[in-house]
C-alpha cells in the first residue's frame, strides 16, 4: 500500500517519459509494467528515503538498462518530427536530454537518475543539442524595426547555424519577404517602423504558410489578453540571449514549418 501511495502519482509522467525514450507507447508501457513487477517482488530495490519521483525514475532506468534497453519506433513516432528527432539521438543522449528538457529534473537530479556525474550529463546534453540543431537548420525571417536589436538577433541566429533571409521593418515588407523566400522560423516584433503591427504581419503570413513565430516585444501585454489565442512563444524585451536560443530550439523541435502554400 505504501508503494502505491508513494509512486502512483508519478506514474503518468513516467509513462510519458518511457514512451518518448523508447519511441513506442507499447514498448514504453511494457517497461513500466516490468519495473512495477520487479518493484512489487522486491520493494527493497528502490530508495524509499529520498524523493519518490527521482527514486522511481532511477529504478526504471535500472530495469530498462538491465533488459537491453530495446528501442522501437512505431508508425505514429515516425510521423512525428519531434519523435523522429528524439529517436535519432544516441540512447544515453536521449535520456539526458529528456530528463531535463521534458521531465524538468535539475542537472543534479538527472545525473543521479542516470548514475553519472553532472559533468558527464552536461556533455551528453550538449551533444544532443548539437545533433538536434544540425537537423533543425532553417531559414529565419526577422521582423524588427530597431537596427541594433535586429543586428543582435541576426548574429544570434547565425551563431546557431541558421540562415537569415532578411530583416523586415514594416508589415508589408515582412509579408513580401516571407512570400519571396519562405522561412522556417520568424522572429517578430509587435510595433514596427511605419506604425504597422507585427501581429498583423504574422496573421498575413500565417494565412499563406504554416511557420512557427516567436514574438520578441517590449509590449507582451498586447498579446497576453486572454481574449484570443495567445502565442506559444513570447519573449519580453530586453531579452536574454540564452532565452531566445532556447525558444528557437523549442519552436523548431516541436513546431517545424510546413510546406508553404504561396500563391501569386
Give the H or E element holding residue 251.
helix 241-254
Segment 127-179, tens digit of pLDDT: 887 777 777 889 999 999 999 999 999 999 998 889 999 999 999 999 999 99
- In this prediction, residues 91-118 reach a mean pLDDT of 89
Strands 139-143 and 213-217: unpaired
Q: In this structure, what C-alpha cell is assigned to residue 191? A: 510595433
Percentage above 70 pLDDT, the chain: 81
Is 0.75 surpassed by the pTM of this model? Answer: no
Percentage above 90 pLDDT, the chain: 32
Q: In this structure, what C-alpha cell is assigned to residue 248? A: 528557437
pLDDT: which is higher, 134 or 48: 134
Say whether pLDDT at 235 is over 90.
Answer: no
Smallest CA-to-CA distance from 22 within 7, 32, 13, 12 is with: 32
- In this prediction, residues 223-229 reach a mean pLDDT of 54
Q: Which residues contact 258 (CB under 8 A, 6 or more apart)?
A: 209, 210, 211
Residue pair 199/143 in contact (Cβ under 8 Å)? The answer is no
- Indicate the pLDDT class of residue 182, thresholds 50, 70 and 90: very high
Alpha-carbon gap, residue 180 to 120, rounded angstroms: 45
- Indicate the pLDDT class of residue 262, thresholds 50, 70 and 90: very low
CA 158 to chain centroid: 19
Segment 75-89, tens digit of pLDDT: 444 456 667 777 777
Amino acid at each position: 500500500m505504501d508503494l502505491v501511495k508513494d509512486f502512483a502519482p508519478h506514474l503518468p509522467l513516467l509513462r510519458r517519459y518511457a514512451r518518448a525514450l523508447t519511441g513506442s507507447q507499447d514498448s514504453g508501457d511494457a517497461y513500466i509494467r516490468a519495473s512495477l513487477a520487479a518493484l512489487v517482488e522486491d520493494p527493497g530495490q528502490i530508495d524509499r528515503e529520498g524523493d519518490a519521483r527521482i527514486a522511481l525514475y532511477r529504478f526504471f532506468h535500472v530495469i530498462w538498462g538491465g533488459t537491453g534497453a530495446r528501442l522501437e519506433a512505431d508508425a505514429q513516432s515516425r510521423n512525428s518530427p519531434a519523435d523522429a528527432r528524439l529517436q535519432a539521438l544516441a540512447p544515453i543522449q536521449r535520456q539526458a536530454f529528456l530528463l531535463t528538457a521534458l521531465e524538468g529534473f535539475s542537472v543534479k537530479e538527472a545525473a543521479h537518475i542516470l548514475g553519472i556525474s553532472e559533468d558527464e550529463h552536461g556533455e551528453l546534453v550538449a551533444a544532443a543539442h548539437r545533433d538536434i540543431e544540425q537537423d533543425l537548420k532553417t531559414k529565419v525571417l526577422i521582423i524588427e524595426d530597431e537596427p541594433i536589436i535586429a543586428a543582435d538577433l541576426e548574429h544570434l541566429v547565425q551563431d546557431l547555424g541558421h540562415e537569415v533571409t532578411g530583416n523586415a521593418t514594416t508589415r508589408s515588407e515582412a509579408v513580401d519577404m516571407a512570400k519571396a523566400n519562405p522561412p522556417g522560423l520568424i522572429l517578430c516584433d509587435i510595433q514596427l517602423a511605419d506604425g504597422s503591427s507585427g501581429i498583423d504581419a504574422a496573421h498575413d503570413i500565417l494565412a499563406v504558410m504554416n511557420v512557427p513565430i516567436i514574438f520578441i516585444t517590449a509590449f507582451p501585454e498586447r498579446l497576453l489578453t486572454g481574449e484570443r489565442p495567445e502565442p506559444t512563444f513570447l519573449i519580453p524585451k530586453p531579452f536574454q540571449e540564452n532565452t531566445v536560443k532556447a525558444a528557437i530550439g523549442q519552436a523548431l523541435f516541436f513546431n517545424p514549418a510546413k510546406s508553404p502554400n504561396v500563391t501569386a
